Chain A
Amino acid sequence: VVWGMLGNRQFCSYKITTKTQNFCRNEYNLSGLCNRSSCPLANSQYATVREEKGRCYLYLKTIERAPFPRRLWERVLLHKNYEKALEQIDENLIYWPRFIRHKCKQRFTKITQYLIRIRKLTLRRQRKLVPLRRKIERREKRREEKALIAAQLDNAIEKELLERLKQDTYGDIYNFPIHAFDKALQQQEADSESESEKEEEEEEEDVDKREFVEADDSDLSDFEDMDKLETSSEEEQEEETEVEKEISHSKSKGKTPLKGAARRKRPHIEIEYEAETEPAAKTK
């Protein structure tokens, strides 16, 4: 009667239909499907296995208690031992239909298996999923972009580096001690013919250049050719006595530990000298 009403014809609130199958949402359902034999409402003699807080219970429903909904489901605590619990199920459902007995045992097996798994997993490290919040993500992203624009990183870095240069943290590596250089320039322009100054400058420049050449050799293994050109052009410079040229060359030479962005300057310099140095190289 009950099944006739609920089964296929009228409405059962526990029934869920999907494309291929019908499911039963009732907690006491043994298999989870909506069948004539698995509906706890339609069968007056029914049994299920459910677990609560890690312990398994066998729930029984009999005809005699049908008018007492409160006492309808009787529950039996099952033993923790798997085999003993199976025996218990057998003993309780002794004269019951085979289907229910079998399904109960299957369900019990599945439950114990997943309980074991839970216990094993909690021993390991669990991964905690923290949900992202879309609005917050968007907000953060926007703020980051604006902060990036406000930061003006390149300028800040350049400023900091120049500061450090001024404060002499780099010591004597770079030969622009500002004031000394300007003074030197002025002196040269004033008396460009006095030999002592020339000699001094030549020595200084040679020393500097030599330092740089060494630095070049250590840093730039690729630029062997350029090094050769430089050394030969240096010899050329020593021959030339025009002071101003030397200054400008030394300036550019001073920057020769070049990489990357300023590489463009190098070809310029090289081109200037190539014509002069080629005969020298050839004669050698």
Chain B
Amino acid sequence: EKLAAKKKRRKEREALGDKAPPKAIPKTIENQRVYDETTVDPNDEEVAFDEATDEFAPYFNRQTVPKILITTSDRPRGRTVRFCEQLSTVIPNSHVYYRRGLALKRIIPQCIARDFTDLIVINEDRKIPNGLVLSHLPDGPTAHFRMSSVRLRKEIKRKGKDPTEHVHEIILNNFTTRLGHSIGRMFASLFPHDPQFIGRQVATFHNQRDYIFFRFHRYIFKSEKKVGIQELGPRFTLKLRSLQKGTFDSKFGEYEWIHKRREMDTSRRKFHL
């Protein structure tokens, strides 16, 4: 029945010729998205002021150089270990340390003492990594993500080589709301400020419907209107579970945002990031 209606409409359009009404825009979830009042306006002063004074200000004013510690939960399995290593090649100035049963609360002061700016903990379940805790160290926000569909470098179809040591660029797509904006800045603060364009590498955090897709590509400009990209480096998707104000503290921390399933998952068209 729908097909018949479509055909009829097409015939009408052809019959009318130039005077036909413009084509109807199909409804997508992005179009129908429930308007979120915390959407960031590029010219919003309040947001700009907030950002100038929040925890990432020293990074964005180029006072601090990011130094990152990557670790896992207890007893990491092979896949997680390899993923950690690849992640450390993607993020410059990062170190991987094994966690032999050390409590996070005790690691954090040590990290601060040794001048780390960020801590990434990859949580593992049944031999695959499935969670990521990213905390900005000198007393910064902690974001807890659920990680899914992790692909290691050799599982990605490609014929290229491994990423070089150049600092790569970052693309942050689609972080619209306040929450999304702060998470976007959190990601941005992992990477050093000055990308070396010679390397032609780019790391992308793309937010779509509350899922953040991470990809790592190498690009070439074939002409001024065409660019070719080749995927290298691991890929994974993240979904934000909670954002805490201070460093990682599960009992006494002040949660800025938690994903509450009952309330937040009811509408198909409402997204928070």
Contacts and interface: CB of A to CB of B under 8 A. Distances in A.
Interface in B8-34: 28-30
A139 B209 CA distance: 13
Contact of B213 (A139, A153, A165, A173): A153
Contacts of A161: 171, 202, 219, 221, 227, 229
B178 interface: no
B222 interface: yes
A261 B200 CA distance: 13
A139 B268 CA distance: 11
Nearest to A148: B213
A275 interface: no
Given A161-B227, A259-B220, A260-B159, A144 B149 contact: yes
Interface string B44-80: 0000000000000000000000000000000000000
Nearest to B149: A144
Contacts of A157: 171, 202, 204, 206, 215, 217, 219, 229
Chain A, interface residues (CB within 8 Å), range = 35 or more
A119 interface: no
B206 A173 contact: no
A165 B221 contact: yes
A65 interface: no
A174 B229 CA distance: 16
Nearest to A139: B265
A160 interface: yes
B160 A260 contact: yes
B218 A162 contact: no
A262 B222 contact: yes
A73 to B, nearest CB: 40
A140 B209 CA distance: 11
A142 to B, nearest CB: 11
Nearest to A177: B224
B6 interface: no
Contacts of B222: 255, 262
Interface in A135-158: 136, 139-141, 143-144, 146-148, 150-151, 153-154, 156-158
A262 B220 contact: yes
B129 to A, nearest CB: 15
Contacts of B110: none
A148 B237 contact: yes
Nearest to B261: A136
Given A140-B239, A144-B211, A261 B148 contact: no
Given A148-B237, A262-B222, A219 B198 contact: yes
Interface in B186-210: 197-198, 200, 202, 204, 206, 208-210
A259 B228 CA distance: 11
A98 interface: no
A156 B222 CA distance: 17
Nearest to B223: A176
A141 B173 CA distance: 21
B225 interface: yes
Nearest to A132: B125
Given A144-B148, A144-B211, A160-B204, 5 more contacts: A154-B229, A157-B171, A157-B202, A174-B221, A178-B224
Interface of A: 125, 136, 139-141, 143-144, 146-148, 150-151, 153-154, 156-158, 160-162, 164-165, 170-171, 173-174, 176, 178, 181, 215, 218-219, 255, 257-262
